[in-house]
Amino acid sequence: MSNWIATDEIRGNFAKAMSEMYRHEVPQYGTLLALVEAVNRETLAANPALHAELRDGDELVRLDVERHGAIRVGTPAELAMLRRVFAVMGMHPVGYYDLSEAGVPVHSTAFRPVDDAALKRNPFRVFTSLLRLELIEDAELRQRAAEILAARDIFTPGARELVATAERQGGLDAEQAERFVAEALETFRWHREATVDLATYRALSDEHRLIADVVCFRGPHINHLTPRTLDIDEVQRRMPAAGIDPKAIIEGPPRRACPILLRQTSFKALEEPIRFAGNEQGHHTARFGEIEQRGVALTRKGRALYDRLLTASREGGTATDNQSHQVQLSEVFADFPDDPAALRREGLAFFHYRAVPGATAGDEHDVEALIAQDALTAAPMTYEDFLPVSAAGIFQSNLGDGVRDEYASHSNQAQFEEALGAKAIDEIALYEQRQQASLEKALAALA
Ligand code: OOG
Ligand code: NI
């Protein structure tokens, strides 16, 4: 018998501690949370069907604590250690995102829980990017950046020790888990002091602002923490009145009767005072706010259709105001079925199957027939991941003007996984498994 604290509980406590720290560091985050909470409450009150759907899918409970954050690290060793830190909280690397095509010299994964029970409890996700130093063209600068990174340790000795303890024991006891949360949190804290002088910062920043952000500080400060809204258009509309200036357009698919994938918008990064080595004063912008609205996860076929329509909608340029952008998107996305039954029948989206209590299947084995006779229900399965085109849009709106064109490099998942010390889990395969498991369980209950 072990008395280890459940990984779900450690993750829940960590997410809460992170949210408190960030609220303290970035007061606008608190404003955003209040806005999202108000809109969620009103949306649920006005839409009983949505309320019932979220309640039956056990998603109402997680909604209030649901957040994703993002960090950027500089070396393979940092990424590999982060993987071990997140594993203590039941978070595993899912998906591979190449952002070099969009002119951002990183590739990324998302650390998140993977199974139904853990996702219901707290789906905390951290979008984690690894800087691709090899994309710095100037050899001298590349060398300098590598040396600066080699000289830092972004983890406290306590965090390192507790990760090793958790791996050795197979878990952490209550006292260790509490210390682990406090020690791990230190890695994500903001630092007002840079580790380099202003001239070095500027040289790196001139190469790419993201490089300066990753290289010049003691740690990979959390750069945003995103709550989930049920109506992103409404939150975006109310942001200015709350003193928040959102980026021009909402990223991702248009508004739909049956929301798909992920829609996101962010507000501009804050300019914050920094003390550089040699006591020079300067500024750095890194931290911003973001909100997201999640919809149903798409199958490979659905995702291919989404990617094709998104590309089509971008031909001839994207509108710079949100309203025209959304109109343009909606026209193109008219080709995407917009009701759950069509999405399911055409194999475009994933669903959770449940047996209706008291129902039996009799001789019927056909899923559609069982749904038609009210023996089986199919609820849309929430998309738990990210979108590379949207992520690039979020990165860029926060890097300001003068964003460069794409890097001539190709996506390199093998190199990323070597740095990570593990494979990135295929997100589509995960949805497939969860859908299949829910169907088998439902059919067994009907037998
Ligand atoms: C990450 C940007 C990507 C999202 O929600 O797509 C992201 C970053 O700026 O580090 O967080
Ligand atoms: Ni984000």
- What value of ipTM does the predicted structure carry? 0.99
- Among the listed residues 141, 150, 274, the one whose alpha carbon sits nearest the alpha carbon of residue 204: 141
User: Along the 447 residues of the chain, how does pLDDT read in single tens digits?
Assistant: 578 999 999 999 999 999 999 999 888 899 999 999 999 999 999 999 999 989 988 888 899 899 999 999 999 999 999 999 999 999 999 999 998 878 888 999 999 999 999 999 999 999 999 999 988 889 999 999 999 999 999 999 999 999 999 999 999 999 999 999 999 999 999 999 999 999 999 999 998 889 999 999 999 999 999 999 999 999 999 999 998 888 888 999 999 999 999 999 988 777 899 999 999 999 998 888 999 999 999 999 999 999 999 999 888 777 778 888 889 999 999 999 999 999 999 999 999 999 999 988 888 889 999 999 999 999 999 999 999 888 888 887 777 655 566 676 676 999 999 999 999 999 999 999 999 999 999 999 998
Tell me how crowded residue 437 is: count the other CB atoms within 10 A of its CB.
14
* Residues sharing a CB contact under 8 Å with residue 162, sequence separation 6 or more, in sequence order: 88, 172, 176, 179, 180, 183, 184
Q: Across-strand partners of 174?
A: none
Please tell me the distance from the alpha carbon of residue 408 to that of residue 419, in angstroms, as a whole number.
21
Q: Which of 394, 403, 427 to mutate to test the pocket of ligand 1 (most atoms within 8 A of CB)?
A: 394
The letter for the amino acid at 112 is: R
Q: Which atom of ligand 1 is nearest to the CA of 395?
A: 9
Judged by its nearest atom, the ligand closest to the C-alpha of residue 213 is: 1
* pLDDT of the residue at 403: 53
Is 7-294+383-411 a CATH 3.20.20.60 domain? Answer: no
Instruction: Give the per-residue pLDDT at 104.
Output: 86
Residue of 309, 330, 308 lying closest to 257 (CA atoms): 330
Q: Nearest to residue 272, comparing CAs of 226, 216, 311, 327?
A: 216
- Ligand 1 atom at minimal distance to the Cα of residue 387: 6
pLDDT of residue 228: 96
Determine the pLDDT at residue 430: 98
Ligand 1 pocket test, pick from 73, 127, 287 with the greatest ligand atom count within 8 Å of Cβ, gives 127
Q: Is 65 exposed, middle or buried (0-12, 13-18, 19+ CB in 10 A)?
A: middle
Taking the domains of the chain in order of start, what are their residue ranges?
A: 7-294+383-411
* Residue 262: its H or E element: strand 262-267
Amino acid at residue number 179: R
Angle, vertex CA 391, rays to CA 138 and CA 123, nearest 5: 125
Q: Is the distance from the beta carbon of residue 386 to the nearest atom of ligand 1 less than 6 Å?
A: yes
Instruction: Please tell me the distance between residue 296's alpha carbon and the centre of ligand 2 in angstroms.
Output: 18
CA distances from 417 to 131, 414, 420 (A): 14, 5, 5
Helix (H, G, I), strand (E, B) or coil at 138: coil
